[in-house]
Amino acid sequence: MSLGGFGDKTFEVSMNKIYTFKDYSNEVSLETEDQDVDGSKPSTYIKGMGLEAPSITIELRQSKNIDVETEYNNWKSICRNKKPHMLFLGNEPVSTNKFYL
């Protein structure tokens, strides 16, 4: 059963493989700027949405279907490639944006 994915990595639970995550969070914010107003308190100018910052924790456990060193190196490779990917939970993307690792 697929729990989601990032790039070519699929989080899944099956009879042969447990590859999952925990501690999911996604921070969103507004980008603002204080603007001085003569004779009055400053006003707040909203520039737009800030970047989303999703976060997950992946625990790698050595098993017959998961080699921790290989998985670690694969995640480092995704980071070094500097290419954004969609993050999925279940079959749904967490955002319309892509994310860097």
12-56, pLDDT tens digit by residue?
887 777 788 899 999 999 999 999 888 888 899 999 999 999 999
pLDDT band at 78 (very low <50, low <70, confident <90, very high): very high
Q: Which of 40, 1, 43 is CA-nearest to residue 18?
A: 1
Domain total in the chain: 1
Give the separation between CA 37 and CA 35, rounded to whole angstroms. Answer: 6
Residue 34 is assigned to a structural domain of this protein: yes
Residue 75 is assigned to a structural domain of this protein: yes
pTM of the model: 0.75
Residue 85 is assigned to a structural domain of this protein: yes
Residue 98 is assigned to a structural domain of this protein: no
- Domain holding 66, by residue range, is 2-93
Give the separation between CA 74 and CA 70, rounded to whole angstroms. Answer: 6
Is residue 79's pLDDT more than 80?
Answer: yes
Residue 100 is assigned to a structural domain of this protein: no
pLDDT of residue 12: 87
Alpha helices (runs of H) in the chain, residue ranges in sequence order? 68-80
Give the separation between CA 51 and CA 3, rounded to whole angstroms. Answer: 24
pLDDT of residue 44: 93
Residue 47 is assigned to a structural domain of this protein: yes
pLDDT of residue 13: 84
Residue 15 is assigned to a structural domain of this protein: yes
Residue 99 is assigned to a structural domain of this protein: no
Q: Is the separation of the CB atoms in 63 and 80 below 8 Å?
A: no
Q: Which of 13, 24, 18, 28 is CA-nearest to residue 88?
A: 24
